[in-house]
Amino acid sequence: MRNRNALPPMDLLVGFEAAARHLSFTKAGEELFLTQSAVSRQIKDLEDELGVALFHRRHRALLLTEAGKQFYAATAQVLTTMRSATERLRSQAGKKALSVTTTHSFAALWLIPRLAGFTRMHPGVDVRITADTRVQDLERDGLDLAIRHGPASLAGSHAIRLFGERVFPVCSPDLLKSNPLKKPADLVRHVLLQYDDPEGRHPWLHWKAWLEVAGIPELRPARTLSFSGYEQIIPAALAGHGIALGRTPLVKDLLASGELVAPFSSSADPARAYYVIMSQRAAARAEVAGFVAWLRQEAAQG
């Protein structure tokens, strides 16, 4: 007989909270370093454990049931409290730690490849990176820093600008050996890798903006290959699956190494930049100031 007072396993609760927050098993898996199917199994196990459906699973959409909404509110509050308590205990034990929230693409393509440099400079500091598509409340969620991307008008007076960005086509050099790109109109013979953005919330990542800059707004490629996250598009370009839209800070190292090439000089300016923001309670901590100084140094190098 099941113990009615027993709590579900912690990994199921963590998986549910991430899936409910993102309304996506795929994005929850990316955050937790699990496959989409592993998160789906966790949710099924949790629903079996509770005896109630937590999600409506629909074509290209995931929605919380009423029971799911209630359980998410409680689970999110408890996990936030536990994370904050964990950081406090680590701090009291003499282990310095800092938490950073940013987008999946910035974490995967810029921050994580450079993080070893900070670790070498500050070996006594633990870093926790939370990749999220939503803008998190630093004070409420117990986070120290946010690296955010947006227009200057939304940055806030306390935000520190890291760098802007420009958007332009990039691809694997091997792709051009068999099908050269001499002019933008040649894209008609290629596969364009595009960001799947059905609600149109990220227009600067759409090919339309760059094609207009290039003077060929009506171009129709051979075909398209769509992805739900920008951090998936660049690996696809590296693998030779098509032409991607590169973003200046996120692909600079790949261009410098020759793993990617930019066949055209024209670029689109989305009038957006990357900013770092500190929570009020973290601003005075030496390890947080050190991380911000390191970010600015890395950003100055491109």
Express each pLDDT in 98-120 by its tens digit: 999 999 999 999 999 999 999 99
Q: Report pLDDT for 110.
A: 96
Q: Report pLDDT for 160.
A: 92
Q: How far is Cα 56 from Cα 68, in angstroms, rounded to an integer?
A: 9
Q: What is the mean pLDDT of residues 255-279?
A: 93
Same domain? For 156 and 281 the reply is yes
Residue 302 pLDDT class (50, 70, 90 cuts): low
Same domain? For 70 and 114 the reply is no
Q: Hey, what amino acid is at 223?
A: R
Same domain? For 130 and 144 the reply is yes
pLDDT at 154 over 80: no
Same domain? For 17 and 143 the reply is no
Q: Could you tell me if residue 72 is inside a domain?
A: yes
Q: How far is Cα 149 from Cα 155, in angstroms, rounded to an integer?
A: 8
pTM of the complete model? 0.69
Residue 94 pLDDT class (50, 70, 90 cuts): low
Q: Could you tell me if residue 266 is inside a domain?
A: no
Same domain? For 40 and 22 the reply is yes
Q: Tell me: the pLDDT tens digits for 58-75? A: 888 899 999 999 999 999
Same domain? For 28 and 103 the reply is no
Same domain? For 227 and 283 the reply is no
Q: How far is Cα 295 from Cα 276, in angstroms, rounded to an integer?
A: 9
Write out 256-272 in H/E/C secondary structure: HHCCCECCCCCCECCCC
Whether 215 and 209 have beta carbons less than 8 Å apart is answered as no
CB-based contacts of 125, cutoff 8 Å, min separation 6: 96, 97, 98, 118, 119, 287, 290, 291
Half-sphere exposure of 232 (CA within 13 A, CB side): 12
Residue 1 pLDDT class (50, 70, 90 cuts): very low
Same domain? For 100 and 27 the reply is no
Q: Domain end: 83, 109, 133, which one?
A: 83
Whether 293 and 109 have beta carbons less than 8 Å apart is answered as no
Residue 156 pLDDT class (50, 70, 90 cuts): confident
Q: Could you tell me if residue 196 is inside a domain?
A: yes
Q: Could you tell me if residue 69 is inside a domain?
A: yes
Q: What CATH number corresponds to the domain at position 50?
A: 1.10.10.10
Domains: count for the chain: 3
Same domain? For 218 and 194 the reply is yes
Same domain? For 188 and 157 the reply is no
Q: What CATH number corresponds to the domain at position 137?
A: 3.40.190.10
Domain of residue 152 covers 95-162+272-300
Q: Could you tell me if residue 263 is inside a domain?
A: no
